[in-house]
């Protein structure tokens, strides 16, 4: 019954997350947008779990675990970068260039 609206909200949130990732340069904000996308997906899982079984909710559980780990490592990386460069603005970080 709530499936359709929930999926719609999830899609909108996900798009906003992508939009944010593309729009911003601040690494931390981009990180938050990624979290937003993860949550949008979580919403989908939960919505579908109603009709497809409890496994959907379990996946949310795992996604949270991954998100926590990712946040910890990712933020640590940002910290390290900030120490090196003095900024978290991605425009000034091009360490990946070969």
Partner 1 sequence: MSWTLIIFWAFAGLALVSALCCITRRNAVASALWLVVTLFSLAALFVLLDAQFIAVLQVLVYAGAIMVLFLFVIMLLNLGRQGPTDVKGPLGLGIAALLGGVLLFQLWILRHAAPPEAIQLPPGSMARLQQEQGLVGAIARPLFDTYLIPFEITSLLLLAALVGAVVLAKRKL
Partner 2 sequence: MPASALQLLWLVPALPLVGFLLNGALALWRPTAKAAVSTIGVGVLVLAFAAAAAAVAEFAGLHQAAPLVFRYWAWMPAGDLRLDFALQFDQLAAVMALVVTGVGALIHLFSVGYMHADAGYARYFAYLNLFVFFMLMLVLGASFPVMFVGWEGVGLCSYLLIGFWFNEQINADAGKKAFIVNRIGDFGFLIAMFLIFRATGSLDFGPVFGRAQAVFPPAGTTITAVTLFLFLGCTGKSAQIPLYTWLPDAMQGPTPVSALIHAATMVTAGVYLVARCNVLFALSPLGSAAVAGVGALTALFAATIALKQWDIKRVLAYSTISQLGYMFLGVGTGAYAAGIFHLVTHAFFKALLFLGSGSVIHAMHRAYHATHSHDDAQDMRNMGGLRRYLPWTATLMWIATLAIAGIPPLSGFFSKDAILGAAFALATAEPIWYVYWGMGVAAALLTAFYMTRLMLYTFHGATRTGEQERPHLHEAPWVMTGPLVVLGLLSLIGGLLDLPELMGGGAFLQHWLEPVTGLAARMRPAVELSPVVEWAVLSSAVGVAALGIVGAVRLLQPEALLPARLAPPETGLGRLLWKKWYVDELYDTIIVRPIQWLAREVLWKTIDARIVDGLIVNGSATASRALGWLGSRLQTGEVGFYVVLFVVGVLLVVGGAVR
Q: Which is nearer to partner 2, 57 or 71 (CB)?
A: 71
Site of tokens 């798009």:
15
Chain residues that interact with partner 1, rule: CB under 8 A: 1-9, 11-20, 22-26, 28-29, 31-33, 35-36, 39, 42-43, 46-55, 57-58, 60-62, 64-73, 75-80, 82-83, 88-89
Q: Which is nearer to partner 2, 63 or 78 (CB)?
A: 78
Cβ distance 57 to 46 under 8 Å? yes
Residues in Cβ contact with 57 at an 8 Å cutoff, skipping those fewer than 6 apart: 45, 46, 49
């Amino acid at each position: 019954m709530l499936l359709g609206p929930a999926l719609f909200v999830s899609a909108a949130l996900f798009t906003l997350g992508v939009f944010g990732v593309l729009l911003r340069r601040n690494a931390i904000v981009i990180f938050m947008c990624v979290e937003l996308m993860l949550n949008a997906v979580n919403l989908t899982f939960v919505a579908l779990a109603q009709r497809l079984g409890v496994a959907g909710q379990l996946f949310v559980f795992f996604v949270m675990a991954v998100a926590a780990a990712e946040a910890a490592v990712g933020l640590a990386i940002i910290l390290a970068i900030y120490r090196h460069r003095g900024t978290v603005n991605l425009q000034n970080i091009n360490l990946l260039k070969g």
